[in-house]
Each structure stands twice: as C-alpha cells, then as structure tokens.
Structure 1
Amino acid sequence: MNLYLMRHGEALAETEDPIQGLSAEGVRQVRASAGAMKRLGICPELVICSPKKRAKQTAALVAEVVNYPYSDIVESEALLPKAAPEGFTELLEKYRDRQNLLLVGHLPSLNTILSFLLGSETAVRFESGGVCCIDSSNGEARRGELRFCLTAEQMRLLA
C-alpha cells in the first residue's frame, strides 16, 4: 500500500477567517502539488481528509486535478491536528485492501503518523501543500518505507 501524506495548503490567519480556509497562496500550492501528482501518475483509490475546512478544501482541489470523485472523499477525525496514532491505526485497518491512499491532514499529527509508520521518531518538515509517500506494502504498521518527501515548491517544479 502506498500512503500519500499531504499537509493542507497555506491557510488564512484565524483573525481573517476563524475557521481558517485556504489562502490564495494555499490554493496555488495545492493545485501545483496536485498537478505534480497527476504527472507522476499518482492516482489515489481513496482520499481521506481531516474535517477541518483547509484540509477539506485541499482534498477537493487534489481530487479535481487527479480526476477523483469529490463525493467519494472521506472525512476522518483520525487526521485532526492532535489525533492519537490509535485512531490512525483503525483507519488504516479499515482500508487495508486499498493500494493508494491520499491522507490530507495537519501538523503535528502528520509527523506522528510518519513516525508511527516508520517505527522511529522521525522529524520531517511538512510544508503546506507538501507530500510524503510511505510504502507499507507488507501491511504492517511500523514497517513502512519512506519513498519520497517533497515540499510544495518541489511539487510545483515537477508539475
């Protein structure tokens, strides 16, 4: 299974938008990252996102570019900013029959998920709109392999 972990695009300041939707720059970041995903042949079988507005907007923009049905996006609290790894384990188990999952979330939970999958305390700088790919084809948590981790700018260059 390939797990694509994506941080939402840059969000508006809470003073500007209390529920912090994507900024114009965030929309540009995500569209560029989605374009790179399409060019790289990344076709998610399932897109799962946090229920927060900026994550839902990010998932929707990616879905549009990679031709994934918007209505099939699944929301999960396991991808909220401070979600515990146990919720993620349950989520992964639920969809273990899928080959390519795109998970759109936040910090610090994306780093927690990455550390959990790789079996070590791994510090990765997840920039807004950035994407990491973990190969967990053996089906065991804590036995994944980091395939790549790209910033939004690197994704833009690939697009």
Structure 2
Amino acid sequence: MQLIIMRHGEAGYHTLDGQRELTEYGRQAVAEVASQIAESPWRPRAMWCSPLVRARQTAAIASEILNCPVIEKNFITPDDDPGKCLDEILDAPDSPLMIVSHMPLVGSLATLFVDGHRKGIPLMTAQAIVLDMPVAGPGCADLKAQFLP
C-alpha cells in the first residue's frame, strides 16, 4: 500500500480554529505541491480529508489537480488518535491513498507507520510525504518521497 500524507496549506488566524481558511499563499502552495504529486508515480486514487475548513479547502485544490475523489473523515482532525486512522487505512481499498489533515496528527501518523511510535515529526504547511508499505502497520513503511512548496 502507498499512502500520501499532506498537511493542509497555510491558514489565517482571524477566526475560530475549525473555521480557519487558507491564505492566498496557502492556496498557491497546495496547488504547487499537488502539481508535483501529479507528475510523480504516486498519483492518488482517493483522498480523505478532515472536516475542518482549511483541510477541506486543501483537499478541493489538490483533488482538482489530481482528479481524484475526496471523502471527508471525522477521525483525522488535529488531535485524533493515529491508531484509529491506522485501523481505517487497513480497510481502505484504494492505493495510493492521500490523507489531508493537520499537525500533530499528520506527524504522529507518519512516525507510527515509519518508526512504530507516535511521537510525531513536524510537517510544514502544504508539505506531503509518500509512504510505501508492503504491509500496512506500525513500523512497516518506508519514506519514498516528499513534496514541498
């Protein structure tokens, strides 16, 4: 299985956390990274996104460029348990699958798959990484690529 994990683009701080929208720079950075992914061998077949506004906007931009469907998932918000996400990924039929979410979840999820723990590595806004897993599970992934704005 191949998994692409992307942090949402840069968002403004002028409103409540769940309603924060992407800045112009955030939209441009997401489009740039999505274009890089589109030219790579890891073009996603499906995309999951957090229900928070900034993640939905990020997924909409990436989905348009990558031409893949987006499904909103309630278990990938900033403070959700990466173990719950792991359980859902194990049942996901689509590969490569792209997840658009937030810190600290994206960092925790990446380290859970690569290193087998949940300490978390930081991802910059609009950054995406590609994990390759012969078997989906903790400590089973190799980091294959990263995309930066």
Q: How does 1:19-34 map to 2 (within 5 A)?
A: 19-34=19-34
- Secondary structure of the residue aligned to 2:42 is coil
Whether the 8 Å contact between 2:51 and 2:73 is mirrored in structure 1 is yes
1:15 CA displacement: 4.1
1:66 CA displacement: 1.3
State how far apart, in whole Å, the 1-side matches of 2:42 and 2:130 are.
10
Q: Which of 119, 131, 144 lines up with 1:147 in the alignment?
A: 144
Whether the 8 Å contact between 2:12 and 2:22 is mirrored in structure 1 is yes
The match for 1:103 is: 99
Percent same amino acid among aligned pairs? 24
Distance 1:18 1:78, change over 3 A: closer
Q: Mind listing any 5+ residue stretches in structure 2 that lack a counterpart?
A: none
The match for 1:47 is: 47
Q: Greater helix percent: which structure?
A: 1
- Secondary structure of the residue aligned to 2:75 is helix
- Secondary structure of the residue aligned to 1:78 is coil
Query: Number of residues paired by the alignment?
Result: 148
1:83-102 Cα offsets, whole Å, 9 max, x none, are 0123112211220x322000
The match for 2:62 is: 62
Q: Which of 89, 111, 118 lines up with 1:115 in the alignment?
A: 111
State how far apart, in whole Å, the 2-side matches of 1:88 and 1:18 are.
20
Q: Mind listing any 5+ residue stretches in structure 1 that lack a counterpart?
A: 153-159
Q: TM-score, normalised by structure 1?
A: 0.84
Whether the 8 Å contact between 1:126 and 1:151 is mirrored in structure 2 is no
Whether the 8 Å contact between 2:11 and 2:21 is mirrored in structure 1 is yes
Whether the 8 Å contact between 2:51 and 2:77 is mirrored in structure 1 is yes
